[in-house]
Amino acid sequence: MVEGCSGVDSLPEHDDVDEQSERAELVLSASLVALAESACVGVDDLACEAVSALVSVVLTQVLGMQYDEEVEVLDGPIGTVRSRVARARHDLVVMMREPDVGSAGAAAH
Protein backbone atom coordinates (compact mmCIF):
# COMPACT_ATOMS: atom_id res chain seq x y z
CA MET A 1 0.00 0.00 0.00
CA VAL A 2 1.21 3.49 -0.87
CA GLU A 3 1.55 5.67 2.20
CA GLY A 4 -1.20 8.29 2.39
CA CYS A 5 -3.18 6.67 -0.44
CA SER A 6 -5.53 4.22 1.19
CA GLY A 7 -7.48 3.41 -2.00
CA VAL A 8 -4.51 2.65 -4.27
CA ASP A 9 -4.67 -1.09 -3.55
CA SER A 10 -8.23 -1.23 -4.84
CA LEU A 11 -7.62 0.61 -8.13
CA PRO A 12 -8.78 -1.47 -11.11
CA GLU A 13 -6.26 -3.04 -13.44
CA HIS A 14 -5.69 -1.31 -16.80
CA ASP A 15 -7.89 -3.83 -18.65
CA ASP A 16 -10.69 -3.22 -16.15
CA VAL A 17 -10.46 0.54 -16.74
CA ASP A 18 -10.66 0.03 -20.52
CA GLU A 19 -13.67 -2.25 -20.09
CA GLN A 20 -15.38 0.22 -17.75
CA SER A 21 -14.68 3.07 -20.15
CA GLU A 22 -16.11 1.09 -23.05
CA ARG A 23 -19.20 0.25 -21.00
CA ALA A 24 -19.66 3.90 -20.03
CA GLU A 25 -19.35 4.92 -23.68
CA LEU A 26 -22.04 2.42 -24.67
CA VAL A 27 -24.36 3.65 -21.92
CA LEU A 28 -23.79 7.26 -22.97
CA SER A 29 -24.40 6.48 -26.63
CA ALA A 30 -27.59 4.55 -25.81
CA SER A 31 -28.74 7.48 -23.66
CA LEU A 32 -28.09 9.93 -26.49
CA VAL A 33 -30.07 7.79 -28.91
CA ALA A 34 -32.97 7.52 -26.45
CA LEU A 35 -32.88 11.29 -25.90
CA ALA A 36 -32.93 11.92 -29.64
CA GLU A 37 -35.86 9.55 -30.11
CA SER A 38 -37.88 11.22 -27.35
CA ALA A 39 -36.98 14.69 -28.64
CA CYS A 40 -38.36 13.75 -32.06
CA VAL A 41 -41.83 12.88 -30.76
CA GLY A 42 -44.32 15.46 -31.96
CA VAL A 43 -41.85 17.75 -33.73
CA ASP A 44 -41.35 18.41 -37.41
CA ASP A 45 -38.89 16.42 -39.51
CA LEU A 46 -36.40 19.28 -39.75
CA ALA A 47 -36.09 19.63 -35.97
CA CYS A 48 -35.80 15.86 -35.60
CA GLU A 49 -33.06 15.76 -38.23
CA ALA A 50 -31.12 18.44 -36.35
CA VAL A 51 -31.27 16.41 -33.14
CA SER A 52 -30.22 13.24 -34.98
CA ALA A 53 -27.31 15.07 -36.60
CA LEU A 54 -26.19 16.34 -33.20
CA VAL A 55 -26.25 12.81 -31.79
CA SER A 56 -24.22 11.55 -34.75
CA VAL A 57 -21.61 14.27 -34.25
CA VAL A 58 -21.32 13.57 -30.53
CA LEU A 59 -20.94 9.85 -31.10
CA THR A 60 -18.33 10.14 -33.86
CA GLN A 61 -16.49 13.38 -33.11
CA VAL A 62 -16.67 13.54 -29.31
CA LEU A 63 -16.77 9.89 -28.28
CA GLY A 64 -14.61 8.80 -31.22
CA MET A 65 -16.91 6.08 -32.52
CA GLN A 66 -16.29 4.79 -36.00
CA TYR A 67 -19.19 5.08 -38.43
CA ASP A 68 -19.76 1.32 -38.41
CA GLU A 69 -19.97 1.37 -34.60
CA GLU A 70 -22.53 4.17 -34.73
CA VAL A 71 -24.54 2.17 -37.26
CA GLU A 72 -24.80 -0.61 -34.68
CA VAL A 73 -25.93 1.84 -31.99
CA LEU A 74 -28.43 3.66 -34.20
CA ASP A 75 -29.54 0.58 -36.12
CA GLY A 76 -29.54 2.42 -39.42
CA PRO A 77 -27.63 2.60 -42.71
CA ILE A 78 -24.06 3.90 -42.78
CA GLY A 79 -24.96 6.42 -45.47
CA THR A 80 -27.39 8.09 -43.06
CA VAL A 81 -24.68 8.39 -40.42
CA ARG A 82 -22.21 9.90 -42.89
CA SER A 83 -24.85 12.29 -44.20
CA ARG A 84 -25.79 13.47 -40.70
CA VAL A 85 -22.19 14.08 -39.69
CA ALA A 86 -21.44 15.93 -42.93
CA ARG A 87 -24.52 18.11 -42.54
CA ALA A 88 -23.75 18.88 -38.90
CA ARG A 89 -20.15 19.80 -39.78
CA HIS A 90 -21.42 22.10 -42.52
CA ASP A 91 -23.92 23.71 -40.14
CA LEU A 92 -21.16 24.29 -37.57
CA VAL A 93 -18.97 26.00 -40.16
CA VAL A 94 -21.87 28.24 -41.19
CA MET A 95 -22.62 29.11 -37.55
CA MET A 96 -18.96 29.90 -36.88
CA ARG A 97 -18.89 32.33 -39.81
CA GLU A 98 -21.97 34.23 -38.63
CA PRO A 99 -21.35 37.31 -36.49
CA ASP A 100 -21.89 36.67 -32.80
CA VAL A 101 -24.91 38.82 -32.01
CA GLY A 102 -24.83 37.87 -28.33
CA SER A 103 -21.33 39.19 -27.70
CA ALA A 104 -22.05 42.49 -29.45
CA GLY A 105 -24.98 43.08 -27.11
CA ALA A 106 -22.90 42.13 -24.09
CA ALA A 107 -20.11 44.51 -25.09
CA ALA A 108 -22.54 47.44 -25.15
CA HIS A 109 -23.32 46.99 -21.43
10 within some domain: no
With beta carbons less than 8 A apart as the criterion, state whether 63 and 31 touch: no
Query: Would residue 109 count as lying in a domain?
Result: no
Whether 62 is in a domain gets the answer yes
Q: How many domains does the chain contain in total?
A: 1
Is residue 77, in this structure, part of any structural domain at all? Answer: yes
Q: Which domain holds residue 22?
A: 15-98
pLDDT tens readout for residues 79-100:
988 998 888 888 888 888 887 6
* CATH number of the domain where residue 77 is located: 1.10.10
Tell me if 71 is assigned to some domain: yes
pTM above 0.95, yes or no: no
Q: Closest Cα to residue 61, out of 43, 82, 46, 75?
A: 82
Residue 104 falls inside a structural domain: no
Tens-digit pLDDT profile for residues 13-36: 556 667 777 777 777 777 777 777
What per-residue confidence (pLDDT) applies to 79?
92
Q: Is the pLDDT of residue 105 over 80?
A: no
